[in-house]
Amino acid sequence: MYTVIVRSKKDRDAVNVTIRKYYSEWGIELLTLKGARTPEKARDLLLDIAENSNTFVIVLLGREDREMARALNEMLPPTAVAHVVPRARVRNARPATIFKETEKARATIRLAAAWDPENNVYVLDRNAGVGLEGYGYSPAYDDFFALGEEFAVSLGSVLGSKPGLNSLILRKMGGLHVVYSGKRVFGTLHIPDTGCSPRGFIRRDVEPIDVELNNLLEFNRHVIEGFLKVSLNFLSRFKGAYDTIAVPWSGGKDSTAALLLALKVFGHKRVIAVYVDTGVDFPQNREYVEKIAKRLSVRLLSVNVSVRNGLEKEGLPLPTHNNRWCTARKVEALKSALRTLPGRVLVILGDRDSESEARSRRPPVRSEEGRTLVAPLKQWATAHVQLFLLMEGVPLNPLYYVGFYRLGCYICPALRSWETYLMSKAPCIRDKLGDDPLFRAFMKHRGCEDFI
């Protein structure tokens, strides 16, 4: 999935130490520019690798080659980046430093974004427009689009003024979300982990700018096609080795995208989507899974797990961060279902780097209980996943249009104040769950009793 390129053999030896220590199971290919010191000498070799390797390409250079890095970045595709480490030469950096800079480089590929003022659209390509005010490329960040009118209204109810349609949001750390209008910051959303009261602030001097969805799809097609090419090539390595392809499917965007990739590479005969119903899933999740399964003509294996029974009949407490007994039951139900599948089983996950540090550290391929697990979306941002699904003609789960960032159960302790705020306001949730005693107990537990 990854190719790392350095300028010389000595740099390669230094990076190889880092790969053995931090990326030993990642299957990273390590190449050199054969000592080239100018962009002109490196261009042909690098473009050939970037365009034909079908991997994400990271060029690591020292500070003495920073001008070459700048020139290379102006011509590289969105799936590649030239990154400068904070030493004169790469070989002068310690392995921990090289690892840290490699992580920054991966984040730069994932989070690349610009504003195209001529076409009034965001493009997930650094070279396709002007830079965004205060934008950043931390490995912990993610970006996504606030798609649709209802999402804009939800944001406006907290910010104090409605942003433009289909605005771009950069999710930073500590619950901070930056909402853009064109190249400028429109406002910030602060989302505490608990409670029901996110806070918003707007810039009074920035006008909202609407972005047409068709423009987002048209001007980002080359980006999505590049990411898709890498992920399909990655999955193709496993094409002849497995009898059954299992995709754990929650009804969320990432697992839906993983399912589409699986169908593209392995076809319908071998692919099975596995949905674990906890009994306390948002009703929209099951409805979405059943609807899209029929639309894609994919085999669907539904598994029930006794989370609701645990609460209603066994008297277990509502799950908390320190007691997520529900997760253990859900994971075991999934594993039990996978054990029933015939032959050699490949599990395709929707895991992405920006979801958590733990998922970022996992290699793209790993083994668990004798099964192979792969993560073809590892390098994708949420924005890539959103546009990919829409380009494939697959609608997003309707909860995303309300404003949800992640989906799951409506009693999940991982739901933050933004989600509980939406749960208290959105008619599509209140109409379906308003009389559910577990929903009401959860909202009261989170301090949202005033809303129910």
Q: For residue range 396-446, list pLDDT tens digits in order.
A: 999 999 999 889 899 999 999 999 999 998 999 988 998 999 999 999 988
Within a 10 A sphere around the Cβ of 43, how many other Cβ atoms? 16
255 shares a domain with 279: yes
176 shares a domain with 245: no
Contacts of 213 (CB under 8 A, 6+ apart): 147, 166, 390
Within a 10 A sphere around the Cβ of 229, how many other Cβ atoms? 15
249 shares a domain with 197: no
Is 317 part of a structural domain of the chain?
Answer: yes
At 223, the pLDDT band (50, 70, 90 cuts) reads: very high
CB 279 within 8 A of CB 380: no
176 shares a domain with 79: no
Domain CATH number, residue 353: 3.40.50.620
336 shares a domain with 253: yes
Pairing between strand 244-248 and 345-348? parallel
At 46, the pLDDT band (50, 70, 90 cuts) reads: confident
306 shares a domain with 169: no
Is 388 part of a structural domain of the chain?
Answer: no
What is the domain count for the chain? Answer: 3
Q: What average pLDDT does range 338-363 have in this prediction?
A: 91
Phi and psi at residue 93, to the nearest 5°: -90, 145
Over the chain, what is the mean pLDDT?
Answer: 93
DSSP per-residue string spanning 362-408: S-SEEEETTEEEE-TTTT--HHHHHHHHHHTT-PPPHHHHHT-SS-S
Domain boundary among 111, 126, 143: 111
Residue 155 is predicted with a pLDDT of 97
Is 448 part of a structural domain of the chain?
Answer: no
161 shares a domain with 38: no
Contacts of 204 (CB under 8 A, 6+ apart): none
Is 386 part of a structural domain of the chain?
Answer: no
Domain range holding 46? 2-111
Domain CATH number, residue 7: 3.40.1360.10
Please state, in angstroms and as integers, the Cα–Cα distance from residue 134 to each residue in 129, 137, 190, following that order: 15, 10, 16
141 shares a domain with 89: no
The pTM assigned to this predicted structure is 0.96
User: How many angstroms from the chain centroid is the CA of residue 372?
Assistant: 21
pLDDT of 53 > 80? The answer is no
252 shares a domain with 165: no
* Exposed/middle/buried for residue 173 (C-beta within 10 Å: 0-12, 13-18, 19+): exposed
Q: What average pLDDT does range 170-190 have in this prediction?
A: 97
120 shares a domain with 65: no
Q: What average pLDDT does range 7-32 have in this prediction?
A: 95
At 44, the pLDDT band (50, 70, 90 cuts) reads: confident
CA atoms within 13 A on the CB side of 106: 23
DSSP for residue 29: E
